[in-house]
Amino acid sequence: MEYVKCLIIGSGPAGYTAALYASRANLNPVLYAGLQTGGQLTQTTIVDNFPGYPNGVDGNQMMMDLREQAARFGADLRDGEITKVDFSRKPYTVTTDHGETIEAESVIIATGATAKYLGLPDEKKYAGQGVSACATCDGFFYRKKVVAVVGGGDTACEEAHYLAGLCKKVYMIVRKPYLRASAAMQKRVEEAENIEILYETNTLGLYGENGVEGAHVVYRKGESDERTYDLPIDGFFLAIGHTPQSALFKDFITLDEQGFICLKGQNQATNVPGVFAAGDVCDPHYQQAIIAAGTGAKAALDAQAYLSELGK
């Protein structure tokens, strides 16, 4: 059976940065990239807010650069998924999608998160044809058009505000009679002239011949004044939160009520000694590439300290 000192699961900014630091610390890390090599940023066009790229960088390119940088110091970067883990006894064991079992002295979980969808069949039907879960990635295609953003949290407000700078009109489809977002974010969207908030409204479906041309929505469903109508839009943006990819670890690792991995204290340690977490899988709040990269570095340094204490 293969034995590794430091196994990293996931290949977003957190995973690759952990691999970079762990390889430079001579931990000979092995990284499993998972189903979507490069993670969420490979779905993006230009990343403008990662320090060090004054003119922005293509999301795919940035992930290839991070991968290359980790490989330069000897990180063993593998395609494939980890499908099972056993953290009940040391060394921990993980199983790959090829059925191989690996023993790991320490593990860094950097499996990220995925955007939530409403679960409507039309979201799949119009994927890439008017439906998006990332305004900053796809907003550009909707310049001077009419779009809707679903959600009433900080992300929805931020995305609506961003889109308002590009689009003719932005509707926010909010299921409650109020926004959940922070006061500052609420003020921002309320003050934008081309944002209209549709409270107590839910989406029933989408329509259109060639891509999205509108949404079927319902106002105050189940109430005496319930009203169903069609809202003409060119783009439909989901901003209803993210689901952390933590299900694989739930039997061993403490998760919060949303499924995010709980960290023990100041560092990236989980409740299982030697198992660390980094990036969006343990971050219900910021969900930013630069922060994921930073926590990836922290997790590798924590793994190094843990292994050195064990004399490994």
Q: One of 58, 65, 134, 154 is an active-site residue; which one?
A: 134
The question of whether 167 is a catalytic residue gets the answer no
**Bond preceding residue 51 cis, omega within 30 of 0:** no
| Smallest distance from ligand NDP to CB 118, Å | 5
Segment interacting with ligand NDP, rule: CB under 6 A, options 1-9, 173-181, 229-237, 289-297: 173-181
By CB under 6 A, tell whether 176 contacts ligand NDP: yes
x/- string (CB under 6 A) for ligand NDP, residues 247-286? -------------------------------------xx-
Residues 94, 69: Cα–Cα separation, whole Å: 26
- Torsion sign, CA atoms 216, 221, 222, 226: negative
The question of whether 65 is a catalytic residue gets the answer no
Considering only residues 24, 125, 175, 264, which one is a binding residue for ligand NDP as defined by CB under 6 A?
A: 175
Closest to 36 in 3D by CA, of 73, 9, 65:
9
By CB under 6 A, tell whether 200 contacts ligand NDP: no
Q: One of 6, 122, 138, 234 is an active-site residue; which one?
A: 138
Centroid of chain to Cα 123: 18
Considering only residues 76, 154, 200, 213, which one is a binding residue for ligand NDP as defined by CB under 6 A?
A: 154
Considering only residues 118, 204, 248, 297, which one is a binding residue for ligand NDP as defined by CB under 6 A?
A: 118
Tokens of 112: 């990220």
Interior CA angle at 54 toward 52 and 56, to 5°? 95
Residue 66, number of CB atoms within 10 A of its CB: 25
Whether 93 and 102 have beta carbons less than 8 Å apart is answered as yes
Residues that bind ligand NDP (CB under 6 A): 118, 150-156, 158, 175-176, 180, 240-241, 284-285
Active site residues: 134, 137-138
